[in-house]
Each structure stands twice: as structure tokens, then as C-alpha cells.
Amino acid sequence: MTLNTSFLRNVFLYKCLFALTFWNHVSLSVEDELFTSVSNNFQEDVSKQKIMSLPLLYTKSYQSKANVDWVVIQNTTESLSLSEITDHNVKKLIALLSNFRQGSRLTNLTLTNMSVGWNNLMEIFQTIWHTSVEYFNTNNVTQLSDVESYDFDYSGTSMKALTMKKIAITDMYFTQDDLYKIFANMNITDMTIADSEMIHMLCPSDKSSFRYLNFQKNDLTDFLFQKCDNLLQLETLILQKNKFESLRKVSFMTSGMKSLKYLDMSNNLLRHDGADVPCQWWAESLAELDLSSNQLVDAVFECLPVNVKKLSLQNNQISNVPSGVAELKSLEELNLASNRLADLPGCSGFTSLQFLNIEMNLIFTPSADFFQSCPRVRELQAGHNPFKCSCELQAFIRLERRSGGKLFGWPAAYVCEYPEGLRGTELKDFHLSLLACNTTLLLVTALLLTLLLVAAVAFLCIYLDVPWYVRMTWQWTQTKRRAWHNPAGDQGAMLQFHAFISYSERDSLWVKNELIPNLERGEGCVQLCQHERNFIPGKSIVENIINCIEKSYKSIFVLSPNFVQSEWCHYELYFAHHKLFSENSNSLILILLEPIPPYLIPARYHKLKALMAKRTYMEWPKERSKHALFWANLRAAININLPISSEVNE
């Protein structure tokens, strides 16, 4: 549609008018005259051209010279924002707004910093109610006084949404219903009254058209909308930052809201002790519920809407999600962040759960079977917990690899808190060996190593004849103990013999025919201790061997293949060797009667091998011509003056 010359001229003149008022501060009287003239011509031209608009183009702000008037914050074809509205300029404001009748293009109006009385505020509302404004916002209304009943005409309006923030009523005494019924009965879809210290709101007197109500940051209590059945179309109700205390009463409040889908009760004082009090009045249509930042505990799961799909219980005092209490089969999103949970909850009551937020709780070692019990979960937020990096956490770390990226915030949000040495380590960098974390494998390995060690010790004991040495040590100890406890007179004189003879019975002929005769006869007679004639009857053989060795200056061992096959010869050698080390003496004389091949010496005769390797032994010569020298050397080796005792004389 082509605009005529008159229309373009008026548009240009209107632009110039606001430019002059902004830059040159023309007087109010001139402005009123120009405004009236231009407005009348403009409306006439608009009616001719069938264009319903008022071209207020981006004039930022202005003030008159004579009187302080409102300030234009924003001015476009569809939006107008004015500030500094007082009782002095209300009439002029009403006159201005009256020009925006229904059909104009102005749809958004914002009034800020209003200092007006109740009646003037209602006059402004009533005027706007019958204009083309669809979205009306007020911010910071002060000096609101003289509240009284007002007959408000709600008919024939284009209004869709009203937003009021920071409304301060200066009256101390007035009828509450006069204030609240004006807003409760508004025939609009959206209404917001926030940050205004509002303590109550009436239920609409008739079936209301409200679909959206926002009363955040007020002083509303549990008495709000109790037994109210006229909010049938309400879909969204925001009651954040108020003073609600009873979750049961909140449930009852929603019972008449048949279309309610979203309810925000966050940042209140809500509690529910679960003391067998009915709490199932929730609106069946309620799909999203925000109960974050309250004082709720585990019993809250006894008082939840059964059809809820999104539930936020963030920042409460929940320590456990009791199984079998809540059957929320439609629940898809659950927010349990900033509570006191010690483990991931199961999904026995949340069969449709897809998103779970459990950040900032007290989870040390989360369960690794979470995704098995919750197969539909697509995203798990479990970061920022005080994880304890131990074997139990290894399974959860492996779970992340198998989950295919279902852990939100991995790896930055998953950090070790305990033990102290691993604090700050990301879970992805924490590793322990399979043996250290698998108890069954560790026990089996330890058992196998123990059996192997026992087998090795048993083999060494058998190979080295350790049991025999233990038995001999025990017998020697017992003999010595008995000797210490015997009276001093029973011990007899020490060193009664020059030598004790140890030999095998198979070599007894050589001992009796050669050794004994050549040592005990002739010059330098040698006193020999022989078991056949010197062992004391009644005593054990071991005790007799020990006594004879201790009473003898030397111990002569007649070595041969027969000797190493004799058990008693081994005993005698053991005790004699023990005396050698305990008294630091040189009391052993080894006579090799016949050569002994090394393979014939048993393993337990390792002391004999060591003695033959380290000590000089005497070999019995086969040539008779060398016998005299042999006996002379042997006599010299055992030559010692012994004390004469009665036993020897006998």
C-alpha cells in the first residue's frame, strides 16, 4: 500500500518533534500542542490508509524544562518503556496511553520507578486494559497507599501477560481482599507478581483463564489456594523463594489444578516427616516438579506425584532413596545433587529413568551395577563427589569405559579425594593391579604361594634332615637341663677319659683288635670311653652319649662306609660337633678307616662333609710298616694328663 504525501509529512514532523525535545528540551506546553496536532493528523491519516500504528522510533529519553516528567527508556513501533511515573504526571500518561486503542501496533508496555497511589495505579491499569497492549510490565512501584475497593472492568481486553516486580505498599492497615481480588480475577493467561513481599493471594471468584502464575520471592505460606477449584487451566505455577513449610499442603493446593504441568517450589522451607499423613492429592497432570533447596529428607519419596516426569530434589537433606516406597513409573529425570547420599540409588521404583544427577553428595565408592539396575539411563552426572580411590572404585572406572560416554563431565569432574596421597588425581589416571583388587585371585595366589613355600620347606627339611636335628637338639637340651638340676655330687668329675670312641658295629673288630689295644697298653696309657663298657645302665642312649662326650677330652670317630650308615654314629657326631662349637675346643679326631665315596654320604651328614673338607683327618695305612707312625701320631693328638678319679681306679 502506497502512503500519501500527508502521511509521510506527519511522520517526518513527529520524528522532528522528538528530536527537538531530546536535544533542545522544548517546553511542555509546546510539546503538548505539537503532540496533539500531530497525533490528530496522524490518526486521521492512519484511518484513511488503514494502517494502525504509531511510529515512535527509538527516542531514548527526555525531560521537560518546567516540570520533571517521565523518561522514555525505549520507544519503538511495538514497544514503549517509560520511567519516573508519579501522581503529578498520571493524567498526562493516561492521556498518552488512551491514544493506543485496540488495533494499534503497540503490544509491549513497561513502566518503571512508579511512585503513585492506589487509585492512580488502578486508573493506569484500567486504561491499559482497553488498549492494544498485550504484555504489560511494571517494576519498582513505591508509595502505593490508600488501598481500597475498586470496581475494575475486565471486559474487552487485548492483555495476555502482566508482570509486576518490587511492589511496595505503604499502608499498614487495609482490607487484604481489596488488593488481592483485583489481580486474582484478571482475565489474562500469564501473571507475575515477584519480589513484592506478598503474603497471600485469593482464589479467583470464577473459572480463571490463568495458564501461568509466577509469585516468586514473596512471603506466601501454606494457606495459598487451599480448596481452590477455579484454576482449571493453570499449567505453570512458580512459587520459588517463599515461606511454604508443609509438602502435604502443597500437594493439597494442586488438587484442584487439573491442567497443572509445572510446579516450582524451590528455595522454601518445605518438610515432610512421613508420619502416616496422607499426601496423595497431587494434580494428576503434574509432570515437572522442582523441590530443590528445601529441608526435605528421605520421607519425601512418600509424598510425590505419581505421574511426574522431571523431579528436582537438589540441595536437600536426603541420605537414602528407600526402595519400594515410591513407584514413579513415569519419572525420566531426577536431580539429587547436593544431598547426603552415600551411593547411587537403584531404579526399582523409577523404571523409566533416563537422566540422573547425583553430583556433590557423599559418595566414596559408587556401585558399579548402576547401569544394570537402570538400563534406560542415558546420562549419569556423578561428578564432584569425594571419591575414595581404592579397589572398590576400579569397577566403577571400568563401568565408564563400558557405558559409552554416559558419565556426564568425565573425566574432569571425577577426582580422587581420598587417600591423601591421591587427592586431586583424576579417576581415569588411577590404576591398581588385578591381583591387588581381586580378593578371590589374591587368596588363591596366596594359598598357592603358601603351599609352594610349605613344599619347599618340607623338601629342604627332608633333604637336610632338619627333623632329626631338631629332635637331637631337643634331647641334648633335655639332657643338659637334667644335668643342671642334679646335685653337684652326682655329676662326677669332668674329663675322666682321654677320648670317646665312635664307630660302627661293623667296624668293631678293628676297634677292639687294633685301636683299643694300641692306645690303652704300653707307655703313655690312654683311657678310652667305649659304649660297651662305659655307658651307665638305666640312662637313655642319647644321655649316655652326651655324658661320655662331655667327660672325654677328645672324640675319635672311625669313619668308613659303615659309619655313615649308622644312626647312632650320626648322633655321636652331632653331639661332638655341638661341643666343638659350644666350647670352642679342638676335640674331634677323624680316622678314615676306609675311603668313603661322596655319593654314599647321606644329605644329613653335611656336617661330616664340612669336617672332612676343613679338618685334617688321619688315614689308616694299609702298609704295616706305617702303623707305628700312625699310633704315635694318634697318641700325640690325645695326650693329656687327666685327674685320677675313683671311677677310673675302679
Taking all residues of the chain, what is their mean pLDDT, rounded to a whole number? Answer: 80
User: What pLDDT does 643 receive?
Assistant: 58
What is the third-level CATH fold of 204-307? 3.80.10
- Burial (Cβ within 10 Å: 0-12, 13-18, ≥19) of residue 105: middle
User: What pLDDT does 89 receive?
Assistant: 92
Question: 8 or 110, which is more confident?
Answer: 110
User: What pLDDT does 597 receive?
Assistant: 78
Helices (H) and strands (E) in the chain, counts: 20, 21
- Asked whether residue 3 carries a pLDDT value surpassing 60, the answer given is no
Q: DSSP H helical segments within 80-193, as ranges?
A: 90-98, 118-129, 176-184
What is the third-level CATH fold of 56-188? 3.80.10
Question: 95 or 29, which is more confident?
Answer: 95
- Asked whether residue 542 carries a pLDDT value surpassing 90, the answer given is no
Q: Which residue bears the cell 671311677?
A: 647
Query: Same topology for domains 56-188 and 204-307, yes or no?
Result: yes
| Segment among 10-14, 249-253, 380-384, 606-610 with least mean pLDDT | 10-14
The pTM is what? Answer: 0.64
| CATH number for region 319-437 | 3.80.10.10
Q: Which residue bears the cell 517494576?
A: 139
User: What pLDDT does 481 receive?
Assistant: 66
β-pair type (71-75, 79-86): antiparallel
User: What pLDDT does 134 receive?
Assistant: 95
Assigned C-alpha cell, 79: 514497544
User: DSSP assignment of 161-211, as one string?
Assistant: EEEEEEEEE--SS--HHHHHHHHHT---SEEEEESS-----PPPSS----S
As a whole number of angstroms, the distance between CA 464 and CA 533 comes to 33
Q: What is the mean pLDDT of residues 346-371?
A: 89
Helix (H) / strand (E) element for 571: namely helix 567-583
Assigned C-alpha cell, 223: 494457606
| Segment among 108-122, 261-275, 440-454, 540-554 with least mean pLDDT | 540-554
* Portion of the chain with pLDDT greater than 90, in percent: 39
Indicate left, alpha or beta for 99 from its phi (over 0: left) and psi (-120 to 50: alpha). Answer: alpha
User: What pLDDT does 591 receive?
Assistant: 86
Angle at 304 between CA 298 and CA 344, to 5 degrees: 45
- Asked whether residue 224 carries a pLDDT value surpassing 70, the answer given is yes
As a whole number of angstroms, the distance between CA 8 and CA 246 comes to 63
User: What pLDDT does 43 receive?
Assistant: 42
Contacting residues for 457 by C-beta, under 8 A, at least 6 apart: none
Q: Position 303: which residue type?
A: C
Question: 354 or 5, which is more confident?
Answer: 354
User: What pLDDT does 7 receive?
Assistant: 42
- Asked whether residue 537 carries a pLDDT value surpassing 60, the answer given is yes
Question: 54 or 138, which is more confident?
Answer: 138
Assigned C-alpha cell, 581: 662349637
Question: 76 or 522, which is more confident?
Answer: 76
Query: Residue ranges per domain, the chain?
Result: 1-51, 56-188, 204-307, 319-437, 466-649
276 pLDDT tier (thresholds 50, 70, 90) = low
- Asked whether residue 529 carries a pLDDT value surpassing 50, the answer given is yes
* Portion of the chain with pLDDT greater than 70, in percent: 78
The domain over range 466-649 is classified in CATH as 3.40.50.10140: yes
- Per-residue HEC secondary structure of 331-345 comes to CCEEECCCCCCCCCC
User: What pLDDT does 103 receive?
Assistant: 83
Q: What is the mean pLDDT of residues 179-194?
A: 95
Indicate the SS3 state at residue 113.
strand
- Asked whether residue 192 carries a pLDDT value surpassing 60, the answer given is yes
User: What pLDDT does 113 receive?
Assistant: 94
Assigned C-alpha cell, 521: 697298653
As a whole number of angstroms, the distance between CA 128 and CA 342 comes to 56
565 pLDDT tier (thresholds 50, 70, 90) = confident
User: What pLDDT does 630 receive?
Assistant: 85
Contacting residues for 291 by C-beta, under 8 A, at least 6 apart: 247, 265, 266, 270, 300, 311, 312, 313, 316
Q: What is the mean pLDDT of residues 339-355?
A: 90
As a whole number of angstroms, the distance between CA 574 and CA 576 comes to 5
- Asked whether residue 12 carries a pLDDT value surpassing 50, the answer given is no
Indicate the SS3 state at residue 370.
helix
| Segment among 10-19, 193-202, 379-388 with least mean pLDDT | 10-19
User: What pLDDT does 92 receive?
Assistant: 92
Assigned C-alpha cell, 479: 639332657
Helix (H) / strand (E) element for 357: namely strand 355-357
β-pair type (333-335, 108-115): unpaired
Question: 542 or 207, which is more confident?
Answer: 207
